[in-house]
Amino acid sequence: MEPNRREFQKQCVFQSFCKRVLHNEACNAHDEIRRRRKREVSFCDLALHEERQLYTTDKYFQAETAEPTY
Protein backbone atom coordinates (compact mmCIF):
# COMPACT_ATOMS: atom_id res chain seq x y z
CA MET A 1 0.00 0.00 0.00
CA GLU A 2 3.01 2.30 0.37
CA PRO A 3 3.61 2.84 -3.39
CA ASN A 4 -0.03 3.78 -3.84
CA ARG A 5 0.25 6.43 -1.14
CA ARG A 6 3.40 7.91 -2.70
CA GLU A 7 1.69 8.07 -6.06
CA PHE A 8 -1.26 9.86 -4.46
CA GLN A 9 1.10 12.35 -2.80
CA LYS A 10 2.80 13.03 -6.14
CA GLN A 11 -0.56 13.66 -7.74
CA CYS A 12 -1.55 16.04 -4.95
CA VAL A 13 1.70 17.99 -5.24
CA PHE A 14 1.37 18.23 -9.01
CA GLN A 15 -2.27 19.28 -8.73
CA SER A 16 -1.44 22.05 -6.25
CA PHE A 17 1.38 23.23 -8.54
CA CYS A 18 -1.03 23.40 -11.49
CA LYS A 19 -3.58 25.33 -9.43
CA ARG A 20 -0.95 27.85 -8.35
CA VAL A 21 0.26 28.34 -11.91
CA LEU A 22 -3.27 28.87 -13.21
CA HIS A 23 -4.10 31.25 -10.37
CA ASN A 24 -0.97 33.33 -11.00
CA GLU A 25 -1.63 33.45 -14.75
CA ALA A 26 -5.19 34.62 -14.10
CA CYS A 27 -3.87 37.35 -11.78
CA ASN A 28 -1.36 38.46 -14.40
CA ALA A 29 -4.07 38.57 -17.07
CA HIS A 30 -6.34 40.71 -14.87
CA ASP A 31 -3.47 43.07 -14.07
CA GLU A 32 -2.69 43.44 -17.78
CA ILE A 33 -6.34 44.21 -18.54
CA ARG A 34 -6.38 46.87 -15.81
CA ARG A 35 -3.18 48.45 -17.18
CA ARG A 36 -4.60 48.57 -20.70
CA ARG A 37 -7.86 50.13 -19.53
CA LYS A 38 -5.93 52.93 -17.82
CA ARG A 39 -4.04 53.75 -21.03
CA GLU A 40 -6.76 53.26 -23.63
CA VAL A 41 -9.02 56.11 -24.68
CA SER A 42 -12.35 55.59 -26.40
CA PHE A 43 -12.83 57.27 -29.77
CA CYS A 44 -15.95 59.04 -28.51
CA ASP A 45 -13.88 60.62 -25.71
CA LEU A 46 -11.42 62.25 -28.13
CA ALA A 47 -11.57 65.94 -28.93
CA LEU A 48 -12.05 66.94 -32.57
CA HIS A 49 -8.42 68.00 -33.07
CA GLU A 50 -7.25 64.68 -31.59
CA GLU A 51 -9.52 62.75 -33.94
CA ARG A 52 -8.08 64.56 -36.94
CA GLN A 53 -4.58 63.42 -35.98
CA LEU A 54 -5.61 59.78 -36.38
CA TYR A 55 -6.12 59.84 -40.14
CA THR A 56 -4.76 61.38 -43.30
CA THR A 57 -6.21 61.84 -46.74
CA ASP A 58 -4.21 61.47 -49.89
CA LYS A 59 -4.58 64.16 -52.53
CA TYR A 60 -3.81 62.42 -55.78
CA PHE A 61 -3.87 64.39 -59.02
CA GLN A 62 -4.89 67.60 -57.29
CA ALA A 63 -2.27 69.76 -58.98
CA GLU A 64 -2.83 68.26 -62.43
CA THR A 65 -5.31 69.59 -64.91
CA ALA A 66 -7.56 67.29 -66.83
CA GLU A 67 -7.07 66.95 -70.56
CA PRO A 68 -10.02 68.14 -72.55
CA THR A 69 -12.06 65.41 -74.16
CA TYR A 70 -13.88 65.87 -77.45
Enumerate the domain spans of the chain.
2-52
Confidence of residue 56 (pLDDT cuts 50, 70, 90): confident
Say if pTM beats, i.e. exceeds, 0.85.
Answer: no
Angstrom CA distances, 32 to 22, 27, 39, 50, 51, stand at 15, 9, 11, 26, 26
pLDDT (0 to 100) of residue 62: 75
What is the model's pLDDT at position 2? Answer: 67
Task: Give the tens place of pLDDT for each residue, 8-53.
Answer: 999 999 999 999 999 999 999 999 999 999 999 888 888 998 888 8
